[in-house]
Amino acid sequence: MDGIFNSISKVFLMLESIKGSKYKYIAVIDPKSGDKIMKIKMNLKDEDLTELLDGFFDSGFKIEAITKTEFDSLKTDDFLNFNITDK
C-alpha cells in the first residue's frame, strides 16, 4: 500500500510543478521606498505582458521577476483578481 501512496505523491508533485510552470510571477516595486507593493501571477503571452507592464513603467514603478515561493510569502491586505482571455 505504501508504494501506491508514494506513486500518488510523485504524480501530484509533478502535476503541481507543471501547473506552476505556466505562470510568471512578478512584483511591482515602489521606486521611492523600494517596497514590493503588489504581486502578480499571470500566464499572459509576451506581447500582452508588454502592454500590461508598460502602464507600470509609465507610472514610475519598477518590476521584478520573483519565484513562486517569494510570491506566496508576500503578504497584502489588498486583493485584485481578474481573468484575461483571448476570444
pLDDT at site 81: 61
Assigned C-alpha cell, 44: 499572459
Which of these ranges, 23-27, 46-50, 60-64, 65-69, has the smallest mean pLDDT?
46-50
Domain range list for the chain: 23-87
Integer Cα distance of 26 and 78 in angstroms: 16
Indicate the pTM of the whole model.
0.58
Answer positive or negative: Cα dihedral of 61, 66, 70, 72.
positive
CA distance 58 to 55: 5
- What is the pairing mode between strands 24-29 and 36-42? antiparallel
Residues 59-86 pLDDT 10s: 888 888 888 888 888 887 766 666 665 5
Residue 56 has pLDDT above 70, yes or no: yes
